[in-house]
Amino acid sequence: MTGRRSSPFKTSRVLLAATSAGFVVVLSVHAVMPGRKAIAGFTTPPSTTPTSTPPSGATRSAIGASEQFGYGTISVKVTVQGTHITAVSVASFQPLESYSQQLTDYAVPYLTSEAMSAQSANIQGVSGASYSSAGFAQSLQSALGQLGL
């Protein structure tokens, strides 16, 4: 409750685990509709059927089919107002087992050597004083969660 003012917009963040260099990419997406969120981990996310021929300017959203890509399976949610795209977010992300191993091989040493002391491996969270959302530990903690540390 302390700290900076809440944004009037919802922000859903989905972490996509990343490149062979071990960086962690944070997609921060502003969604127009409160109450929507991205859930990672569902193989078959609930799909939203777009309304046919909606009135001009109506806000609609839909989740695309799960697609294979280089690092696993992903589905994307898009929100439009009329014909204007107002938000794009990742609705689900299922990394390949081999990619998980790749992340373990590259990202883990990167994170542990660059960011944390060696003892930090295999933790599920970081406790510290009131981090801002952009704070290092929050990002790291999320990344660790995604990477399974």
Partner 1 sequence: MTTSGIGVKSQGARPRVHLEEEVMGTVVTFDIYDDAGVAPTLLAQHLEMARTSLHDADRVFSTWREASPINRLRRGELGLREMPTDVTDVLASCMVARSLSGGWFDPWSMPGGIDPTGYVKGWATQRALEILLRSGVRSAIVNAAGDIACAGDLGIGTPFRVGIVNPRSPRELACVVTLRGAIATSGVYERGPHLIDPHTRRAGTRVESASVTGPDLGLADALATALCVGGADVLERIEGIEGYEALTIGSDGTQAQTSSFPLAE
User: Do the beta carbons of residue 50 and residue 60 sit within 8 Å?
Assistant: yes
| Nearest to partner 1 of 82, 128 (CB atom) | 128
Structure tokens at 33: 């509709």
Name the DSSP letter for residue 71: T
Residues numbered 3 to 42 that lie near partner 1 (CB under 8 A) are 3-7, 10-15, 35, 37-42
Site track 50-79 with partner 1 (rule: CB under 8 A), x = hit: ------------------------------
- Contact between 124 and partner 1 by CB under 8 A: the answer reads yes
User: Do the beta carbons of residue 67 and residue 74 sit within 8 Å?
Assistant: yes
b/e per residue 40-67 (b: at least 16 CB within 10 A): beeeebeeeeeeeeeeeeeebbebeebe
- Contact between 49 and partner 1 by CB under 8 A: the answer reads no
Work out which of 24, 52, 94, 98 binds partner 1, going by CB under 8 A. Answer: 94
- Contact between 147 and partner 1 by CB under 8 A: the answer reads yes
> Which of 7, 16, 5 shows the shortest CA–CA distance to 89?
16
User: Do the beta carbons of residue 36 and residue 61 sit within 8 Å?
Assistant: yes
| Nearest to partner 1 of 18, 147 (CB atom) | 147
| Nearest to partner 1 of 82, 109 (CB atom) | 109
Q: Residues in the site for partner 1, rule: CB under 8 A?
A: 1-7, 10-15, 35, 37-44, 46, 94-95, 97, 100, 104, 115-117, 119-120, 122-133, 135-138, 141-142, 145-149
